[in-house]
Every structure is written in structure tokens, then in C-alpha cells.
Chain A
Amino acid sequence: MKNNSRYEIRFSGSGGQGIITAAVILADAVGTLDGKYVSQTQSYGPEARGGKSKAEVVISNEVIDYPKAMSIDLLLAMTQASCDAYFFEIKPDGLLVVDSSLVEQVPTSRAVAIPFTEIARKEIGRELVANMVALGAVGYLSGQVNLKNLERRLLTRVPKGTENMNRDALQAGIREAKKVDLKSLPRSFVNEWESEV
């Protein structure tokens, strides 16, 4: 009874980057507005900042028994450390999305590299919203969420007075992701390794 509609996204980075916030907004949009089953979990260290941080969103058309990710369809890595730690948990035909401002060594060519932090700094004026730029890209590249609903939930979940900045960040992320040609990437990590052997 394998559930084929199950789609697993892991957001990863370091504490303070807003990893969990981004995952919660995605889960909220998918669950409450798109009307799918969703489960959002997280793990983090006892520190307030620094340390590895990860958050997961599991999306399905059926009731979700096990709430955490088992084999990842899309990994967002906002730091080199998290990219190295979680890359091997992606499905062979999954997708790696990295913040190329912070991840210098990308372990595969089946990766989308977008400089989220740099976009946040240059276009929005605040590095703080790099997570929302990344959320826009993840929302678009995963194809699992209605992007209008994503924006609606973002606006209700961010602090008052920062709505415009966060919306601009989300849209910048979506815009960058649209430039990516997924078809030009290798279809699977496995094929890539096999061809090297």
C-alpha cells in the first residue's frame, strides 16, 4: 500500500535563518488553503542561534501516518553543512536546491543553485528575508502548492509591518526559480553517478 502521492520537502540551514518559519508557511498554505493532508515537523539544537536546523513538510492526498520525511523529494540547503549532511537522503530523482551565496561546493549537477541571501540583500535590502526568497523558489520548484495561497499564508504569518518586504522576497524567489530549466538537469542522481563510473 505505497502512497504514491506522498511528497517530502526538507528545509535545512542553521538556527536563526528562519528555516522553520518558511516550512510552517508552506505547510499552512498546502493544508488549510489547498486542502491536502500535510504534516510539518522540525528538529533543532538547544541553542537559539547557530547549530543545525531542519524542518520538514510532508504533503499527501491521503492521511499521513508517519509525520517525518523518509526519502526526500526536495532538499533546500541554506548552508554548506546542511547540504553535506542531508544530500544523501534525497531520492534518486529528487531535487537539491541550494543557496549559492552560502553553499560553495554543490555535490551534484542535479541541483538548482540560487543566491537567496544575496537576492535578499540586494533586491529587498535585508538578508533576513533570504528564507522567504528560498520559500518562493521551493514553492515553485516543488509544484506542490498554489503560489497565490502561499502568498496569502505568508502575509498572515509574518509580523505586522513586514508584509510587503516578505511578499517581495517571496516573489523574487518565484521569479528566480522560473528561470531554471529543470529539464536541462540530469534526471537522477544515480544516473549521474553511474555515468561517472
Chain B
Amino acid sequence: MAADNSKKRLLLQGNEAIVYGALAAGCRFFAGYPITPATEISELLSVKLPQAGGTFIQMEDEIASMGAVIGASLAGVKAMTATSGPGFSLIQENLGYACITEVPCVIVNVMRGGPSTGLPTNVAQGDVLMARWGTHGDHPIIVLAVSSVSDCFSITVRAFNLSEKYRVPVIVLSDEIVAHTRECFTLPNVDEVRVVDRIGPNVPPEWYKPYAANNRGVPDMAAFGDGYRHHVTGLVHDERGFPTQQPHEIEPFLMRLHEKITKGFPEIMLSKSYLMADAEICVFAYGCVARSALMAVKNARAQGIKAGLLQLITLFPVPRKEIDAALRQCRVAIVPELNMGQMSREINRINQSGTRIVKYNRIDGQMIAPDEITKQIISVS
């Protein structure tokens, strides 16, 4: 795929960059159902995947799409789907199945105004907590937020890598602004992209236990059809993959699901800080709002106010260490979001240092402009 595009500066939409990122990461299967503002991902993959020897299927709905993605991944192929709010609701059922069966997969949710069909062509960030808790039961999951075209490429690659390494579904949260903004991006060559693949069994088929724990906490994964016995069920299962109701098997299994993610915290927690070294006022932002926030922080600096930005890329698990450090350093934290305050709640939860936290929310389908955040910064300075 990179051969024909190598080192060429392209004008790409966020959605298109996600497609190139997925292909570079080795994604060779997509199942989905078109929905604004995620449709461009399906459109481009329907052309690019067959060219790369992959498979594209338009399914009857998002429930089936997620089922097909899980099936493809079990067969050994890196797989993803892309949707927006209403489809993301449908995906939740099978997302839980992917969590408990530890099937690597990537789900892109391009957020639009909700609830329900809401505002199809407007921006929002209302699905943040849903991405974390949308499917039932205590479950591990990784949620990454993108804010630019180059993010859309690199974070999608990262999403596949984390998903394959930890055998966990990874959700890429985009939004209508990031998805539809066109910016220039130079596609890296294939050898410049770090790609992680799942680890297969290194024992003969008769010794293979598909859910046996190891020191990584991530069982080796055989592909269906490779000759390895592999039973898959949504019921809590023992290390052979068969249902169990034994307390001494249930708890270690569920604990392992969570602990494998805990072990990976250093590489899972992604954030970027801007002008934070001597900051007294910190803005926490993610997705498209991070871009307004960066400009606002620069404007505030130009007026002599010591403001900084901590851009959250990993939303869940919450980058507690980075947030805590920023909260301890700063007097005031401002959390602008295109929802009623879903991440500010998480930041409040972490706040042990009595730092004042100011929410700034907009839910009218419009982006937060830099001036609005600058005003907030000035009002607390």
C-alpha cells in the first residue's frame, strides 16, 4: 500500500488517515455499516482493502459488523470496524464478547451529537464514558482520542499494536471535526511504521491451552484453522476455554483480564504536554478541543499568563500519573469538553491536591473556539 504513496504529501481527511493507519498496522478485514460522520472510512477501505489482499464486508447492521470483526480476528486477521454514536450503541453487545474472549480488534467511533440519531453532521464528545463503560460487566478496555490528521494515522497504528499485544479491544474516539478536517500528511514508508503482531502458540497443538496464563498475562493466541483446539465462549471460562463456575477459576481469570492492562500502563498511557514546564493554570483537553485549547494557551502566554496544556490521548485507562502531576503543579485546571463534563469527572476523581477544577462545556453541536478557552484562563488568572 505504501509503495505507490511513499513519501508523497497528501491532503487527507481524518477519516482517510485512519484508513491508511489501519492498513499500515496490518488491518486486513473490515466489517461495518455506513453512518455519518464515519462513512468515509468504509468508503476508502472498500477500495483499499481488496487491493491489499484483505476483505471488506458491509453488514446488515453494527451488531453483525462487530460479530464479523471478532470472527475475522479469531481466524488470525487484524480486523476493525468504524461507526458513530447510534452504531456504537449496537456494537456494545459484541464488544463485551470481544473483551471476555480476549479477541484483538479496533473500533473507531467518530462522535457526533446525540443521544439517539441526534445531530448527524455536528461535532460532540458525548460518548467518552460510553466508550469506557458501554458494555456491561467489569471489563478492561483501552480508549484513545485523536485530534489531528497525523494523529488519526499514528494513533490508529498504536491502537492495533496495543490491541494485538494485550488481546483487548481498543476504541479510537474521533469526532466530526477531526474526521472531516483535511490537512496535509506525508505517509511513512512501510518500514518506518512499528507494527506489533499477536504472539502465537509455541507448543504442539495437543499441549495448547488457549486461555492459560503466562508471565505477560496475555495468553498465546492460535488462529482458527491452524490445527489448535480453541473453544470460544462469552461465559466465564477456564484455561481450556470451556465454561466454569468454580470460584477458584473465575477470580484469577477476571483478575488477569484487568492485570494484563495494568502491567502495560507505561506504554498504554499516552498524553502530550505543551508549555507545561512552569504552568500555573493547566488546560486538560482531548480530541478536536485540544486544538482550540493549544491556541488558547498560546494566546494566554502572549498575555503573560502561565498556562499550559495536557492533551489526553489515552482516555481510559485514565492517565492518572500525568493528570495527578499536572494537578499538583497548577492552581487551577480547566477542562473544556463537548459534553456535560465526562472527563472532568474523572479528573475530579484524581484530584487529591485540592486544585480548583473549572468545567467548560458546550453541547450545541459547535466546536469550542480558542477565545472561549482563553476567556476561561483569563478569568481564573
Contacts and interface: CB of A to CB of B under 8 A. Distances in A.
Interface string B361-381: 000000101110000000000
A70 B370 contact: yes
Nearest to A41: B181
A44 B299 CA distance: 29
Contacts of A37: 184
A66 interface: yes
B301 interface: yes
Interface residues of B, number: 26
Interface stretch (A25-33, A103-111, A139-147, A177-185): A25-33
Nearest to A57: B182
A41 to B, nearest CB: 5
A38 B302 contact: no
A39 B367 CA distance: 15
Nearest to A40: B182
Interface of A is mostly: mixed
Interface in B290-316: 291-292, 294-295, 298-299, 301-302
A45 B365 CA distance: 12
Interface string B6-27: 0001110000000000000000
Contacts of A66: 291-292, 294-295, 369-370
A37 B149 CA distance: 13
B183 interface: yes
Given A66-B295, A70-B371, A27 B120 contact: no
Nearest to A37: B184
B121 interface: yes
A43 B183 CA distance: 16
Contact of B182 (A2, A24, A43): A24
Interface in B159-205: 177, 180-184
A60 B120 CA distance: 30
A67 B11 contact: no
A65 B272 CA distance: 14
9 contacts: A1-B301, A24-B11, A39-B181, A40-B11, A41-B180, A41-B182, A65-B370, A66-B369, A67-B177
Closest 9 CB pairs between A and B? Answer: A65-B295, A40-B182, A31-B184, A28-B11, A66-B295, A65-B294, A1-B302, A67-B181, A32-B9
